[in-house]
Structure 1
Amino acid sequence: MDERKNPALEVRAVHRVHDARLEHFPEHDVLAEEMPVALEYNGIAYATMLATPADLEDFALGFSLAEGIVEAPAELYELELESNRAGVIVRLEIASERFVHLKARRRALSGRTGCGLCGIESLTEAVRPVPRVPQGGVVPLAAVLSAMHALRARQPFHGATGATHAAALAAADGALLVVREDVGRHNALDKAIGAAARAGLLRPGGAAIALMSSRASFELVQKAAVAGIGVLAAVSAPTALAVRLAEEAGITLLGFVRGREATVYSRVDRLGRR
């Protein structure tokens, strides 16, 4: 990867501290970029998130699906990116019926890194009901562990900067289907869902496992449920609210998935013993 030509990365001169001493000569470090990304639907501003400026088409579609703004990729008619000094505007044209529904929700978001629920006016909207994921087949535990292991080698932005999260979708056998990165874990999962939707991988027999290089928050479970993914695995801990929602949605939620270890917090019946 050429960091100097990648808009998602920035190379900066830094001074290191070794053994409590400031080094005299500067070195170069690579930083993950983040910038405001504004989403407009049919000409109406809806949300502004701080995100890594990569795979923004996937992000816009995944966000639209996960938030229930559209129910299928076919309801997104047009997508256009406009970059300026302030950030990026993503202009989306969606089906008229979906736009009427969007306006009726009167939801206002003001996103920032690490927070996908900032600025929501209605508390009931924040914890809105999610669809129950169909039972489907059993996912082998070994598939989840191997997929998480494989994810570690598929994070070029994190390798360069140490500042991004990764989200991946995998098949029931553990094969990684889609990997996306972003400074925000919610954004990373939106990007992965959007990429999978474009490739037709959200149908039965497609993506069965969602993997996160972060903790498992309530909103990540929401997004997995809307995408119809029955297993969500995270490197770190879940919240109590995330576990309750996973039980309600019929999702197997795993935390602390590291090496050959994991903790299963809900719906162990979806998980094969090996």
Structure 2
Amino acid sequence: MGRITTRQKVVRITAADGQDVEFVRRFDTLAAEEPLEIRVGGAPLTVTMRTPGHDVELAAGFLVSEGVITGSDQFASAIHCGGPGTGGTIRETGTGGVPLGIYALGASAADGGNTYNVLDVTLAPGTPLPDPARARHSYTTSACGVCGAASIEQVATTSAFDVSGDPLQVEPSLLAALPGALRDRQEVFEKTGGLHAAALCDAATGELLVVREDVGRHNAVDKVVGWAVLNGRLPLTGIVLQVSGRASFELVQKAVMAGIPMLSAVSAPSSLAVEMAEKTGLTLVGFVRGASMNVYSRPDRIRTDVLEPV
């Protein structure tokens, strides 16, 4: 189902001070980036540039971010659209029989058949289809996560979940450990150095429930949210969303839409991300590096009773 990495010929140049310049021809491993068209009921909704893999999760998470669905009972199935010569289908189920999707069996891209870059989602009976006016006729790049709502007020009123009332309490030591735990499970990043990652952490146990990587930071978040959809885990109460990069407005939006009360980022948040976190009652933590971190909103969820007085 697509390629996660590719191999590319490069010239490696080493130019150390006082030494001759060295040229070495070698292969380098790159993170794959391919388009995925997401359709709902056969109608195109969006095209996003992503790293192939976990496409059904990506679509399910995207639909949560867009406010199209709010739980696994509204997501019936998904099929990779095949061309001529496509075979049958495979149905997979998750926890409690929740469908993980229906996948078309097709020929390889080399045979001119299915390239698995079009995914058609079927919603459960009674679930309203997306407004056709929201369909994107241009693609979303892997660097851009503008996914739906145009303002903080719209997101705050659209989300089916109120994260402000989540009684989550987290020790600072748990948050400090999350970036390292996430990094240890970034298998593709280890090979390419070119992928973002997101993880869902159970704050009560400290367990990383799921880790996903993608060339786009918003896609990585959609994939972990989609995992939650397919396993009947929404809303994600008591969960910390850990991301490997910065905290943008779009990532705060996705967390709120999935009912996640806390977002922790290795790097900086944007001003709009902080504003939205304050508006919705999400705890936003940034610059989580070593033993230090900055808490930008709802610091009451960080257990200060375990800290030494400043």
Using the alignment, how far apart are the partners of 1:200 and 1:268 within structure 2?
A: 29
Max Rg structure: 2
Paired position in structure 2 for 1:132: 162
Paired position in structure 1 for 2:283: 252
Paired position in structure 2 for 1:10: 6
Correspondence 1:156 to 2:187: yes
The one-letter code of the counterpart of 1:243 is V
Question: Over aligned residues, Cα RMSD in angstroms?
Answer: 2.5
- Matching of residues 1-274 of structure 1 within 5 Å: 7-19=3-15, 23-82=22-81, 88-95=117-124, 97-100=126-129, 102-103=130-131, 106-108=134-136, 110-117=139-146, 123-124=150-151, 128-129=155-156, 130=159, 131-133=161-163, 134-172=165-203, 173-203=205-235, 208-273=239-304, 274=306
Paired position in structure 1 for 2:106: none
Using the alignment, how far apart are the partners of 1:266 and 1:78 within structure 2?
A: 37
Question: Once structures 1 and 2 are overlaid, which stretch shifts more, 183-192 or 17-26?
Answer: 17-26
Using the alignment, how far apart are the partners of 1:197 and 1:152 within structure 2?
A: 24
The one-letter code of the counterpart of 2:230 is R
Using the alignment, how far apart are the partners of 1:167 and 1:10 within structure 2?
A: 22
TM-score by length of 1: 0.88
Q: CA deviation at 1:266?
A: 0.5
Unmatched runs of 5 consecutive residues or more in structure 1? none
Identity %: 36
Contact 1:41 1:99 in 2 (8 A): no
Question: Once structures 1 and 2 are overlaid, which stretch shifts more, 147-156 or 104-113?
Answer: 104-113
Question: Once structures 1 and 2 are overlaid, which stretch shifts more, 194-203 or 65-74?
Answer: 194-203
TM-score by length of 2: 0.78
The one-letter code of the counterpart of 2:55 is L
The one-letter code of the counterpart of 1:54 is G
Unmatched runs of 5 consecutive residues or more in structure 2? 83-108
Using the alignment, how far apart are the partners of 2:264 and 2:152 within structure 1?
A: 25
Q: CA deviation at 1:196?
A: 2.2
- Size of the alignment, in residue pairs? 266
3-state DSSP of counterpart to 1:70:
coil
Q: CA deviation at 1:11?
A: 1.3
